[in-house]
Amino acid sequence: MLPVSLFDFDLPDELIARYPAERRDGSRMLVLDRRSGAFEIRPFTALPEYLTPGDALVCNNALVRRARMYGRKEGRPDGALFELLLLAPDTDGAWNVMLKPGKRATPGTRVQLLDAAGDLPSGGDFFTVLAKNPDNSYKIGFSDPRIENLEMRYGHIPLPPYLNRKDEPIDAERYQTVYAEVPGAVAAPTAGLHFTPEILETLRKKGVRQAALNLRVGAGTFLPVKTEYAEEHRMHSEHFDLNPAAAELVNATHRQGKKVLAVGTTTVRTLESCAAPDGTVTPREGDTRIFLYPPYRIRSVDMLLTNFHLPKSTLLMLICCFCDREKVLAAYRYAVEQKMRFYSYGDCMLLK
């Protein structure tokens, strides 16, 4: 049994980056040699120095939807405020959502949606609570089935709860990667937030091949691990699509003796969900609950770019499948000492 406490570390609250850096590529990058344990801090713009012609970069092209909405119980302009987070559509046109406060969300409750200013528009849209699901999410029906229209009128960028603030205009751009394409995620694949078109072009000119897969990052990515041992934690499910072109790039790169750089833990989870014991990946589309923790070893990638993760989180455990836990935590302690910025809008880490 693997104690979750082994993945704890002290993080001062002031190191949580609540806003993005002035420039996308303006972050610092802690480079960790996963064999020796040596590390150093470089600017993110130095990333191309660690790749050679023929290497491959694989990223997650998930597009974050305006998945958070607010409303008040119908007929109660001063009533309790409801907050919902879109999860996934149901087969009958309804939606599965997270809904707060749950104790007031009884079946039949109708909630009018609030506009961007927090007002109840006259004759506005609403949703009706249909049922509570076994996993404590809710099934609701919207008055307008065109979810894209509702997102534009009432939706907010679903910032992670640890940022402890509501979304602002800057988040509409900066909480998306520059290569975001496939809608459906409720959280950004944050390792990709550092890339600019210029850096991607620099990598292309250097001969680094690039491909995208898709994993619809779900709200479960923020769920804390509440069990004492990793084996007792139930992992959330996320939908993924590893297309044939991306799979072939990974396999061809390894056949040629070159390296695959995964941008973010969501990319790793997708590839490992499709990987054979020898690291060969097969194109697939489906749902995954894969939970990677030591002593599991990552098979499908050779380098990993990732942001700094929460203590005792499933994402930190995944990192420790790529590099020994003691080396990772030593690098994290150094990052704290050097006052690097943590979490979604923070600095990044390159494991090579």
What is the pairing mode between strands 28-32 and 39-43? antiparallel
pLDDT at 321 over 70: yes
Q: pLDDT tens digits, residue range 167-225?
A: 999 999 999 999 999 999 999 999 999 999 999 999 999 999 999 999 999 877 777 78
The yes-or-no answer to whether 4-64+171-351 and 68-156 have a common fold is no
- The sign of the dihedral angle between the CA atoms of 103, 188, 172, 162 is positive
Supply the DSSP string of 77-134, one letter for each residue.
Answer: TTSPEEEEEEEEE-TTS-EEEEEESGGG--TT-EEEEP-TTS---TT--EEEEEEE-T
Cβ neighbours of 49 (radius 10 Å): 10
Pair 54, 256: CB distance under 8 Å: yes
- Domain spans of the chain, in order of start: 4-64+171-351, 68-156
Residue 117 has pLDDT above 80, yes or no: no
For residue 308, what pLDDT is reported?
97
Mean pLDDT score, 235-259:
96
> And the tokens for 86?
């879109």
Q: CATH fold of 4-64+171-351, please?
A: QueA-like (3.40.1780)
The pLDDT of residue 76 is: 66
Encode pLDDT of 253-300 as tens digits.
Answer: 999 999 999 999 999 999 999 999 999 999 999 999 999 999 999 999
Architecture field, domain 68-156:
Beta Barrel (2.40)
pLDDT above 70: percentage of residues in the chain:
98
What is the reported pLDDT for 246? 98
Q: Where do we find the tokens 């996934």?
A: 88
